[in-house]
């Protein structure tokens, strides 16, 4: 168990880290898809209003506010997701990262066994299931949330 | 047990996701009716279902617990202080 995340009202730990990452991933994917559909339609509407062929109404305002909120959160959550992808690829947890910030001369990360192995430790060895929210299969290397393989 | 769901961050996340669903499905697809809107709605719901599934597993999944009695037995020359979690009733391991 690593740390409590209030946004999901649960702690993030070894057993649910993959689901937390996929949660962020699918929020971003849904936002990208929504924005890609909405922005052309919204631009068309704005042009129509400027030309005077359509009038302002409350639904247009709801769309405007909604699209702007989606775009803002897309930027913020993508940055946050990138931070977490870097953590996974370097086999570091949120608390590990905080410890290293407080104690910069603590030496290299002994749990870093290479980007691919670090990734597979969280997402499982079966690439077909990387994007599916099921528990990862970790046959080799035996990281179990209590002990992790070290690179020394 | 469910009291942890009442914090403002989590409620904010739920509201944000619900608002996104409403804006896309109702405001854009139903009210504006672009030509391919059936396919866009299908694709959106597939993504949204995966989002809900991941979110459910992230919220409900057990993150893993520190084994009981971790750190209770004297080991080697561990003279330093150990951090203790009052909620889990166990010493906090290195990782």
pLDDT digits (tens, 9 = 90+) for A111-145: 888 889 889 989 988 889 999 999 887 755 667 77
Tell me whether residues B13 and A31 touch, CB distance under 8 A. no
Sign, CA torsion A143/A145/A146/A148: positive
Name the pLDDT band for B93 (thresholds 50, 70, 90). confident
pLDDT score at A146: 78
Q: Does the CB of B92 have a partner CB in chain A at under 8 Å?
A: no
Whether the Cβ atoms of residue B83 and residue B76 lie closer than 8 Å to each other = no
The vertex-B44 CA angle with B39 and B46, nearest 5°, equals 100
Q: How far is CA A54 from the centre of its chain?
A: 39
pLDDT for residue B76 is more than 60: no
Name the pLDDT band for B81 (thresholds 50, 70, 90): confident
Distance from CA of A2 to the nearest CA of B (A): 8
Give residue B18's pLDDT. 95
Q: Residue B27 is nearest to which of A63, A69, A145, comparing CB atoms?
A: A63
| Predicted pLDDT of residue B84 | 79
Tell me: pLDDT of B16 over 80: yes
* More confident call, A27 vs A124: A27
Q: Is A43 on the interface with B (CB under 8 A)?
A: no
Q: Which of A15, A24, A37 to mutate to test the interface with B (most CBs of B within 10 A)?
A: A37
User: Are A144 and B65 within 8 A, CB to CB?
Assistant: no
Q: What pLDDT was estimated at residue B53?
A: 95
pLDDT at B32 over 60: yes
Active site residues of A: 5
Q: Return the closest-CA partner of residue A30 out of B43, B73, B8.
A: B43
Arithmetic mean of pLDDT, A58-86: 94
Residue B89 CA to residue A8 CA, distance in Å, equals 23
Q: Which helix (H) or strand (E) holds B79?
A: none
């Amino acid at each position: 168990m690593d740390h409590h995340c209030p946004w999901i009202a649960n702690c993030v730990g070894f057993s649910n880290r993959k689901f937390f990452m996929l949660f962020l991933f699918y929020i971003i994917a849904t936002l990208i898809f929504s924005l890609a559909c909405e922005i052309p339609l919204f631009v068309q509407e704005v042009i129509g209003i400027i030309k005077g062929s359509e009038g302002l109404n409350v639904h247009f305002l709801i769309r405007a506010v909604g699209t702007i909120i989606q775009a803002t959160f897309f930027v913020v959550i993508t940055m946050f997701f990138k931070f977490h992808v870097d953590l996974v690829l370097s086999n570091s947890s949120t608390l590990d990262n905080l410890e290293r910030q407080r104690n910069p001369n603590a030496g290299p990360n002994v749990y870093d066994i290479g980007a691919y192995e670090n990734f597979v430790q969280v997402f499982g060895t079966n690439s077909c299931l990387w994007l599916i929210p099921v528990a990862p299969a970790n046959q080799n290397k035996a990281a179990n949330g209590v002990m992790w393989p070290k690179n020394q | 047990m469910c009291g942890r769901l009442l914090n403002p961050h989590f409620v904010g996340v739920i509201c944000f996701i619900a608002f996104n669903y409403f804006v896309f499905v109702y405001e854009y697809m139903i009210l504006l009716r672009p030509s391919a809107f059936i396919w866009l709605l299908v694709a959106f719901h597939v993504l949204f279902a995966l989002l809900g599934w991941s979110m459910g597993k992230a919220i409900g999944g057990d993150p893993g617990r520190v084994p009981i009695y971790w750190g209770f037995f004297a080991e080697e020359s561990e003279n330093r202080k150990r951090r203790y979690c009052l909620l889990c009733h166990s010493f906090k391991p290195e990782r």
